Amino acid sequence: MLYNKKIILGVTGGISAYKCAHLVRLLIKQGAVVKVILTPAAAEFITPQTLSVLSNNQVIVDFFDANFNWNNHVHLAEWADIMLIAPLTANTLAKMANGLCDNILLATYLSAKSKCIVAPAMDLDMYQHPTVKHNLETLKRNGNLIIPAESGELASGLVGEGRMAEPENIVVFIQEYFKQNLPLNGKNALINAGPTYEAIDPVRFIGNRSSGKMGIAIAETLANKGANVTLVLGPTNEKIINSAIKIINIENSDQMYEAMLSNYDNKDIVICSAAVADYKPANLSSSKIKKKTENFNLELTKTKDILSELGQQKKQQILIGFALETEKLLEYAEEKLKNKNLDFIVANSASENGTVFGADTNKITIIDKHNKISNFELKSKHEVAVDIVNYLIDFIK
């Protein structure tokens, strides 16, 4: 969910700083890239070494650290997608509210263009103090987001509001923040990818060379843009990185048909990138076929056209198909766009260099139902996926 998100974690000097070890682990587990800045006081509560090991990055404490050019706070601030300060003490809060800048964390905060999210932590009466409340209001007014302190037992022995939000809750808050700002937030997407294997007998099948890379890259991109993604996936060795993607593994075209149709109704976006077999053996042999005769004829029968069926049942869905052609690319792609009732079709030529099944690159043309034709350069499949999803986002608009 936080895959590749760049997060600066600022830690200030309170007892709950020890929880930051766990917080860093959770963020890293979500795929985030984390750089930690400690205030000198925070380093009394948790060692830079611990956070450096857990974040896989150098931890910055001092303006005048020999390994760190003091001026780098500007680059650091530009690098980040968000800045998180947890725990936030009353002292650093007051400085942030008033623009003070006597350590590297505050200098980075003042340089940051990204959103700053803070998780205050202090003792009961401090948290209730009018000055603290006033400073929190100032921070809010200045565009920062506050994760309110939680109630419970405090380090002083008092019980009440003031505990830093639990690391799990901080992570959920950050996830929600990123989700809300994503263009496909709340959209439900269904996509199929990979080949299908049509069984001949218990040990043999008819398949094709599709790797599923293109469809998987699209699924990952949709998820990164906030969509809830269900991926119906044929046999492939490719890995899916984003753990939020719901995967339905299938083997043959009938199973893919069932999976796509039964998951279709509540979807906003449906993309068929799978290389579905067009024909399957008419009869499945229950035992291994022996090589008794010199010649062997295998009778094939047409598979169901999944995309055509989805096109016929289409309601609110934006339906997108692929066309792989070796000749008359645009003519055949336009035919498929109309016949299958699509919103747009991604055409690619199997005869172009770098676009064969299994390759890491692809060159596409998108044709939409308003006859708009957009050509794209040869790119990595990941970049092509971003082009397709960006096109989709514009199309929805």
Nearer to ligand CTP, 163 or 280 (CB): 280
Residues 268-297 that bind ligand CTP (CB under 6 A): 272, 274, 276, 278
Q: Which of 8, 154, 191, 307 binds ligand CTP (CB under 6 A)?
A: 307
| Separation of alpha carbons 314 and 186, rounded Å | 20
CB of 307 to ligand CTP, least distance (A): 3
Residue 325 in tokens? 């052609």
DSSP one-letter string for 346-392: EEEETTSTT-STT-SEE-EEEEETT--EEE---EEHHHHHHHHHHHH
# residues contacting ligand CTP (CB under 6 A): 14
Please say whether the beta carbons of 252 and 280 come within 8 A.
yes
Choosing from 208, 242, 263, 341, the catalytic residue is 208
Q: Which of 324, 386, 388, 392 binds ligand CTP (CB under 6 A)?
A: 324
In which residue are the tokens 């996926």 written? 385
Nearer to ligand CTP, 48 or 321 (CB): 321
| Separation of alpha carbons 19 and 191, rounded Å | 39
Nearer to ligand CTP, 124 or 248 (CB): 248
Residue 305 sits in the site that holds ligand CTP (CB under 6 A): yes
Please say whether the beta carbons of 206 and 197 come within 8 A.
yes
Q: Which of 139, 206, 269, 323 binds ligand CTP (CB under 6 A)?
A: 323
CB of 302 to ligand CTP, least distance (A): 8
x-marked contacts with ligand CTP along 223-262 as a string, rule CB under 6 A: ------------------------------x---------
DSSP one-letter string for 190-257: EEEESB--EEEETTEEE-----SHHHHHHHHHHHHTT-EEEEEE-S-------TTSEEEE--SHHHHH
| Separation of alpha carbons 220 and 276, rounded Å | 21
Nearer to ligand CTP, 171 or 274 (CB): 274
Indicate if 181 belongs to the active site: no
Question: Looking at 117-125, 149-157, 287-295, 317-325, which segment touches ligand CTP (CB under 6 A)?
Answer: 317-325
x-marked contacts with ligand CTP along 329-358 as a string, rule CB under 6 A: -------x----------------------
Query: Rounded to a whole number, what is the largest CA-CA distance in the chain?
Result: 93
Query: 289: which DSSP letter?
Result: P
Q: Which sequence positions are flagged as catalytic?
A: 208
Could you list the residues that contact ligand CTP (CB under 6 A)? 253, 272, 274, 276, 278, 303, 305-307, 321-324, 336
